[in-house]
Amino acid sequence: MTGGPNQNGDTPSPAADVDLDSQGAALGLVVDGSLSQGVEVRLDPSASVEDVKVGAFVTIRGDNNNFFGVVTDVSLGTTDPRLKHTPPQVDNPFIAQVMSGTVAYGTISVLPNLIMPAVMGDSHEGPSAAKTIPPHFSRAYVASQRDVEAVFGQEDQGHFWIGSPLDMEHKLCVDLDEMVKRSIGVFGKSGTGKTFLTRLLLVGILQQGQASSLIFDMHSEYGWGAADPENHRFAKGLKQLFPARVSTFTLDDDSSRRRGSSTDEVVRIGYGEIEPEDVEMLRETLNLSEVAASAAFNLQQKFGQREWMSKFLALEGRDSVFEMANEIQVQPNALGSLYNRLSRLKRFDFLVESTRQDAANRVVEHLDRGQHVVLEFGKYGRDLTAYMLVSNLLTRRIHNQYVDRKEEAEGGQGREPRPLVIVIEEAHKFLSQSVASHTIFGTIARELRKYNVTLMVIDQRPSGIDSEVMSQVGTRLTCLLDNERDIEAVLEGTPGSRQLRTVLARLEPKQQALIFGHALPMPVVIHTREYGSTDSYEQLSRSAAGWTAPALGETIETHEERLDREISELFPEDG
């Protein structure tokens, strides 16, 4: 006798006669609750409190709706308060068995977030936000793979398997189509798995085939790959997994060669490409005063964009700088400090007087071919100035091209540029309150995907990001954070942030993430999909092989078209 008897102890539990494939294990009955606080489920004697964990998914069968929710609390209850003072004879197994689940029982609190579509698998009708709760005595079950799929989507071209819900083997998928429509944030303190999670997302974006990505690879870990000392192995990068669809650019040729990374292009940047706006953004890193930084605009006016930097740095001696200051009417000391700080850039070997090839154009050419571009920084990744300078400069130029093309396309000429996701690390440096308002990254974050460009920001100090920018980050994936201000910043503007706060602070220190935002029907904690084992590579590249990206210009199948096609493939018409 295993199925929990109900109160009268005389009818077998209905769970016994339901198809087990479509339904998880029975948990218990709804006995109390409210929409705001969630419902209380009294556990069947057969379900142990120890097997139910906070964050786990539960489905509740109401009279007319199936509810999908998450366990927010687990507690112990008793019908007789005397139990606490005079515990029954639990050394008698019979008595213990009788008592557990009857006078002494477990309860779970479930927040029913969603109402599931009535017809499972009907793609037109996704889950909707729950505006009511299941009635008394509705039965609750552990959510099954099918339930999870009905809510988060089934693994397919648009839905990428990113991990599994807590304590479940099921695959949890994210809707990448939705996700890349707005900016994405990957947060977490150091060593929690941001890079691995980002690698997975990038593989997903690559497979999904609707967007290109441009990765400013600070630590040179996304292109060729990097050692994973903790697992005693090497974590492959995109180029190794998908050599034909990824182009690697490098700023530091030597480093790339030493690491065995096969690079497609070496990036050189001419002084003429550096604009006063870049200097503005580097103000903090270069420790420049506002006046000093703005002097660059005067220089630009004097010498013109292509020349100002090289002419300025060609000045020799203090006197000539001061003379120049007089000439362009800026404070001599300010110009002097600008001169000193900018002279530091000279040690960057990738900065040259003039280049034949324009790096931004080269990147765009590769992107146009449907390639994903990784720019490896090599040794310059250790220099924040170099990282910010190059990312900002290239992004600005690429963004300009996208703006032009998008406008042309809207005017009826030419094709729309392929959607682009730009990946940056140390995002708070680019998006801090002081610079976000006038740098290209702030602009991109704010204009959403008006010009088909969105950001993927990776950061361990989300509190440093301007809150207006943060509010534009559509989907947030956050690994463990322990700084209060960071937690607050990440959860800001999210409904239910109070409950999420406890969840976030309780994440495992590695390979777990809380993900939420507009691409997800509800917040969920995942155990991030394994990345780095031979099996994982095989799975990742196998699904990619099955879903070849549509050729450029080819219209991309809509969800309905895909369904139609799949149906006709399954049931070909005669003849």
Partner 1 sequence: MTLDGSPPRRVGEVVEANSASFTAQCYTLYDAPPLGCIVSAGSPEIYGVVCRVATEPLDSSRPVLARGETAETEEEVFRDNPQLTRLLTSRFEALIAGHREGDADRHYLPSLPPPVHSFVYTCSPQEVARFTSRLDLLRLLLNSGPPMADEVLGACLRGAAVAHDDSEAFLLRAGKALAAELAGDLPRLNSILKKVSP
Ligand X SMILES: Nc1ncnc2c1ncn2[C@@H]1O[C@H](COP(=O)(O)OP(=O)(O)OP(=O)(O)O)[C@@H](O)[C@H]1O
Q: Is 249 in the site for ligand X (CB under 6 A)?
A: no
Site for partner 1 in 67-86 (CB under 8 A): 79-80, 82-83, 86
Q: How many CB atoms lie within 10 A of CB 231?
A: 12
Distances (CA, A) of 530 to 208, 226, 242, 545: 19, 16, 18, 19
Burial of residue 422 (CB within 10 Å: 0-12, 13-18, 19+) is buried
Closest contact distance (angstroms) between CB of 95 and partner 1 is 5
Q: Which of 374, 421, 130 is nearest to 259 (CA)?
A: 374
463 binds, among partner 1, ligand X, Mg ion, none (CB under 5 to 8 A by kind): none
Strand pairing category for 159-165 and 172-175: antiparallel
Minimum CB separation from ligand X for residue 237, in Å?
A: 13
Burial 295-322 (b: 16+ CB within 10 A, else e): bbbbbbeebeeeebbbebeebeeeeebb
Give the span between the Cα atoms of 230 and 236, in whole angstroms: 14
For helices 484-491 and 497-505, give the axis angle rounded to 10 degrees: 140
Q: Which is nearer to ligand X, 380 or 531 (CB)?
A: 531
The residue within the footprint of ligand X, chosen from 196, 271, 308, 377 (CB under 6 A), is 196
SS3 162: strand
Whole-number minimum distance, CB 94 to partner 1, in Å? 4
Q: 418 or 429, CB closer to ligand X?
A: 429
Identify which range of 193-201, 254-262, 275-283, 462-470 contacts ligand X by CB under 6 A.
193-201
Rounded to a whole number of angstroms, the minimum distance from the CB of residue 227 to Mg ion is 12
In DSSP notation, 442-469 reads HHHHHTTTTTSEEEEEEES-GGGS-HHH
**Alpha-carbon gap, residue 56 to 437, rounded angstroms:** 40
Dig out the tokens for 430 from the structure: 């680019």
From the list ligand X, partner 1, Mg ion, none, which binds 191 (C-beta under 5 to 8 Å, kind-based)? Answer: ligand X
Using the contact rule CB under 5 A, the part of the chain among 114-122, 189-197, 210-218, 349-357 near Mg ion is 189-197
Nearer to ligand X, 155 or 530 (CB): 530
Report the residue number, 226 or 398, with the smaller CB distance to Mg ion: 226
Query: How far is it, in rounded angstroms, from Cα 103 to Cα 488?
Result: 41
Q: Which of 69, 127, 188, 419 binds ligand X (CB under 6 A)?
A: 188
DSSP category for residue 20: S
Beta bridge partners of 525: 514
- The DSSP H or E segment spanning 434 is helix 433-436
Burial of 447 by CB count in 10 Å (0-12 exposed, 13-18 middle, 19+ buried)? middle
Smallest distance from the beta carbon of 222 to ligand X, in angstroms? 11
- Report the partner that residue 94 touches, choosing among ligand X, Mg ion, partner 1, none (CB closer than 5 to 8 A by kind): partner 1
> Which of Mg ion, partner 1, ligand X, none has residue 101 at its interface (CB below 5 to 8 Å by kind)?
partner 1
- Distance between CA atoms of residues 556 and 550, nearest Å: 7
Based on the number of CB atoms within 10 Å of its own CB, is 412 exposed (0-12), middle (13-18) or buried (19 or more)? Answer: exposed
CA dihedral 111, 113, 119, 123 (to 10 degrees): -150
Q: Which stretch binds ligand X (CB under 6 A): 194-202, 284-292, 383-391, 448-456?
A: 194-202
Structure-token match 């939705």, residue found: 178
Residues 451-490 that bind ligand X (CB under 6 A): 460
Nearer to ligand X, 86 or 190 (CB): 190
Q: Label residue 324 exposed, middle or buried (CB < 10 Å: 0-12, 13-18, 19+).
A: buried
Q: Which does 5 bind (CB under 5 to 8 A by kind): Mg ion, partner 1, ligand X, none?
A: partner 1
**One of 65, 195, 298, 439 touching Mg ion (CB under 5 A):** 195
Instruction: Please say which residue, 44 or 376, places its beta carbon nearer to partner 1.
Output: 44
CB-wise, 195 or 208, nearer to Mg ion?
195
Interface mask (CB under 8 A) for partner 1, residues 420-459, using x and -? ----------------------------------------
Listed ranges 30-38, 187-195, 248-256, 358-366: which one lies at the site for Mg ion (CB under 5 A): 187-195
Q: For the CB of residue 8, give the shortest distance to partner 1 in the complex, in Å.
A: 6
What is the DSSP annotation of 212-259? EEEEEETTS-SSSEEEEGGGTEEEE-HHHH-TTTEEEEES-HHHHHHT
To ligand X, the closest distance from the beta carbon of 496 in angstroms equals 25
84-103 residues near partner 1, rule: CB under 8 A: 86, 88-89, 92, 94-95, 97-99, 101-103
User: Which CB atom, from 207 or from 401, has the smaller least distance to ligand X?
Assistant: 207
Stretch that binds ligand X, among 26-34, 277-285, 323-331, 523-531 (CB under 6 A): 523-531
Taking CB under 6 A as the criterion, the residue among 101, 158, 193, 270 binding ligand X is: 193
The answer to whether 3 touches 38, Cβ cutoff 8 Å, is no
Question: What residues from 491 to 510 belong to the interface with ligand X (CB under 6 A)?
Answer: 510
Q: Residue numbers of the site for partner 1 (CB under 8 A)?
A: 1, 5, 7-10, 45, 79-80, 82-83, 86, 88-89, 92, 94-95, 97-99, 101-103
Q: Residue numbers of the site for ligand X (CB under 6 A)?
A: 188, 190-196, 228, 230-231, 460, 510-511, 528-532
